[in-house]
Structure 1
Amino acid sequence: MLAVHARYRGREVRRAELVRRSAEALSTLQGVGEFRMLGVEDICAAIDSPEALCDIVMALLSDGGWAIGIGIVPGAPQSGQTEEVEERVRGIATASLPGRTRAGGVWVRIDAADTSRASASRASADSNDIAATFALVGHVLSKRTVEGREATSLMRSGLNQNEAAAELGISKQAMSQRLQAAGWQVESGGWQLAVNLIRRAGTTP
């Protein structure tokens, strides 16, 4: 079972309104439970799959104003959970965030299957690997131009390069150049790596 807790750390003055609108928009994504507002700056939701979790994290990293906590309960099915299990994984996501957070940071906590040193060590190593993957991808996202954000957003929505180029009114070659400059291959590879790491951590009790 998976969850994400996001805390707004951007510069928007009307942050309560921005956080509310963000919670509503993120809740519409496939595989994402309803985002609850926890105070003015915090939102949290249970997530159905590693893919949906990575889509959420990528969206938050692209915005640039959020600190992100991820909670993972290994061995638990990803859907049809009881409220008790969902509360547990949301609590783990919340606990993953340190007292002082920064925008663009990603923290991960995996609920160790038992209290043995080996289990705790494996959970810690997996948490660090997932956080490091998102740190690398986040660095790429933070360097993008407006044009790069437009191009990658269209690709992320499911369009191919020809369709995205037509949408932007540019040639396929220009689209390819934009994607290369924006680090689209790095993002795609990082997304898949994060999905694989989260799936492994979430299915190995």
Structure 2
Amino acid sequence: MFVLTIDQRGSRRHGDRVEQLLADLAAHHEQTGVDPLRGFERTVGDEVQGVYDDPEPVVDVALHVLRLGGWTVGIGAGPVDEPLPSSPRAGSGPAFVLARTAVEAAKSRSRTVPLAVRGRDDGAGRDAEAVLVLVAAVAARRSEAGWVVADAMSVEAPRQDELAARLGVTQQAVSQRLRAALWAEERAARPAAARLLAWAQGVGEDRPARP
């Protein structure tokens, strides 16, 4: 299982944004058609928590929240105590403990990307963190024009000539923006991060032996 604990940064300066985040996450899940196992809800203060049983939407949501800005993301990968309650607030088990450790680690001022992963398999967890941090850092450098084409290709998957016609630019311009945005590299890295998160659960998933 995967527990995401998301904590607001600078709430004293910007006010409580939890309800706004919960609405955004609900809209994002509706758009992607993938719901968490246990939906996000406020746990304490300006923190929210959700539970997933699939690592791919965990990668997607973590990167989405980092793009929004103003949030710290902790991911815990491991078992949970069964039966899992309907409310994440009532959940317990290693994944919840690891998510708490992760979100506290992510608050370190030495981190350029406020995300951390802790897994029952600690090595795989930190490997997943490294990939996610790198992808988020690359995405943070995108221009507005880069985001426009990256979002369109990720959500709608149009042909580049169709997207160019819609934007009123040349197909070459679309291709250049995608290259500058490192869109193809990000899409290739996301499944790798998901596999590492799966291994980080430490519950017997197939994985290559460490050298």
Using structure 2 for the length normalisation, give the TM-score. 0.76
> How far did 1:197 drift?
1.0
Identical positions, percent: 25
Q: Partners in 1 of 2:12 and 2:145 — Cα distance?
A: 22
What is the aligned counterpart of 1:133 among 128, 131, 134? 131
1:107 matched to 2:116: yes
Counterpart amino acid of residue 137 in structure 2: H
Partner of 2:22: 23
Cα deviation 1:143-172 (Å, max 9, x = unaligned):
111111121122221323434434433332
The CA RMSD over aligned residues, in Å, is 2.8
Partner of 1:115: none
Matches within 5 A, 1:19-168: 19-28=18-27, 29=29, 30-32=34-36, 33-74=38-79, 82-83=84-85, 87-88=91-92, 89-98=95-104, 100-101=107-108, 104-111=113-120, 123-162=121-160, 163-168=162-167
Using structure 1 for the length normalisation, give the TM-score. 0.78
1:82 aligned counterpart, secondary structure: coil
User: Unaligned regions of 5+ residues in structure 1, if any?
Assistant: 112-122
2:39 aligned counterpart, secondary structure: coil
- Compared CA separation, residues 12 and 168, structure 1 to 2 (3 A): farther
Aligned length, in residue pairs: 189
1:153 aligned counterpart, secondary structure: helix
Q: Partners in 1 of 2:44 and 2:168 — Cα distance?
A: 42
Q: Partners in 2 of 1:178 and 1:12 — Cα distance?
A: 38
